[in-house]
Amino acid sequence: MTYVVVENCIKCKYMDCVEVCPVDCFYEGANMLVIHPDECIDCGVCEPECPAEAIKPDTEPGLANWLALNAEYSQVWPNVTQKREPVAESKDFDGRPDKFKDFFSPEPGQGD
């Protein structure tokens, strides 16, 4: 089992999650973060920290595509452990539909 970052992180990227992870298993893309499924110890402390409710346990149904995306991009994006100020438009994108289709980017973020 692992926790998974899902669609509503895209363009919100609040980054509260990285501050609490005891094993530093968040990785940063240009528009969202992902969790490395093999490094996550399933502690669950990040889930309630996300203002966008974008972190879910993989025991929830329907997350297979997101688990695959987390697994893929956590191998190529840089590790991130330090929160930066969220981008100005974070709140505007919170809850917006179709964010993956419209805004997902495979480009890496800056990392720590």
We find the least distance from the C-beta atom of residue 101 to ligand F3S, in angstroms, to be 18
Determine which residue in the list 9, 34, 40, 52 makes contact with ligand SF4, applying CB under 6 A.
Answer: 40
Nearer to ligand SF4, 20 or 63 (CB): 20
Contact region with ligand F3S (CB under 6 A), list: 11-19, 36-44, 62-70, 95-103: 11-19
Do 63 and 4 meet the contact criterion of CB atoms below 8 Å apart? yes
Instruction: Assess contact for 4 and 57: CB atoms under 8 A.
Output: yes
# residues contacting ligand F3S (CB under 6 A):
13
